Amino acid sequence: MDRQTETDQFSQNDDQLSSALNQKITYLNDLNDSVKNGDDLKIYELMDPNRFATELKGEDSDQPKASFFGLASDLNAQLSHHLSDKLIDYLGATYPFFYYHEYELGKFNVYFGNWWDHRLFGQLDPINVRFDFAEDEYDKLSQSFSLETDNKRVNDDEMRQLAEKNEYLTKLIQDQDKRDQRKEAIRQQLKENEEKSPMPWEAGKVKEERQRLNDEMLELTKTDEQATNGRSTIKQNENEILVLSKEETILSLEKQNIRATFGSFEAFIDNNNHLYTKYLQSLDKESQVSDGE
């Protein structure tokens, strides 16, 4: 290889390097301009051009577009905070029963309810335009919808079991006098048993009777202990039933809100699954309106 050829190759490499660097510089400038101009639609395209093309434009994904978002991926929190403004405005109209709180820069809790009466339901991801619902809360809501067909509620079984326990404990407390009378009768029988002077062949029978009476006395004593602790246990169970009943009320209100907004739980799920596309379509319409003015 002659010197001229080597020089040409090095020059070609420098040109490629310069071109690659210019692409990255252009990308960051475009991202910066989009942030300054409040062009969230363009920001989403720059962050994930392939998803943007597929889900918003309906383009073929067989030819992936170059993505440079890695250059700004350390700014996720700041971008998430920036993108949340318009997104939460949109969600406020689409999901009027949700309330959002930014507990850390770019990180948002989602609450079902409003600012004064709500429960944590998951998180909002503005970068990917999606809800990350708390699995246990979401499953409970889903189960509540499913059980409606059988006229059942999520906490019915647990509340029934607690009520049955309270009914049992209440009866134990009410039967205290009967147990006291029975214990007194057993004491008298034990006294008579101890005073017996059985014949050798009757000794085993007398001993068995004494053991039976002692066993019954032990069982009555155990029942007394249950009854003694019964009142506090009944109170605990009543409080638990109250909590479960309140949860059922909340679930009922949540279902009403979802039906009032989406018509059905299935429609709610479908909207969640296509939230990215629906939101970017709304941004696109706004952009077209602005361009037409």
Q: Which residues contact 251 (CB under 8 A, 6 or more apart)?
A: 140, 141, 144, 153, 154
Q: What is the CA radius of gyration of the chain?
A: 36
- Per-residue DSSP letters for 184-219? HHHHHHHHHHHH----GGGHHHHHHHHHHHHHHHHH
CA distances to 85, 152, 231 from 81, in Å: 7, 42, 53
Q: pLDDT tens digits, residue range 75-107?
A: 999 999 999 999 999 999 999 999 999 999 999
Of the pLDDT bands very low, low, confident and very high (cuts 50, 70, 90), residue 2 is low
Question: How much helix, strand and coil, in percent to the nearest 5, is found in the chain?
Answer: 75, 10, 15
Q: pLDDT tens digits, residue range 179-199?
A: 888 887 878 877 766 666 655
- Per-residue DSSP letters for 10-33? HHHHHHHHHHHHHHHHHHHHHHHH
pLDDT at 284 over 90: yes
242 in Cβ contact with 250 (< 8 Å): no
Q: pLDDT tens digits, residue range 206-235?
A: 577 778 877 878 888 888 888 888 899 999
Strand order in the sheet with 118-125: 98-104, 107-113, 118-125, 130-133
Other Cβ atoms closer than 10 A to 279: 22
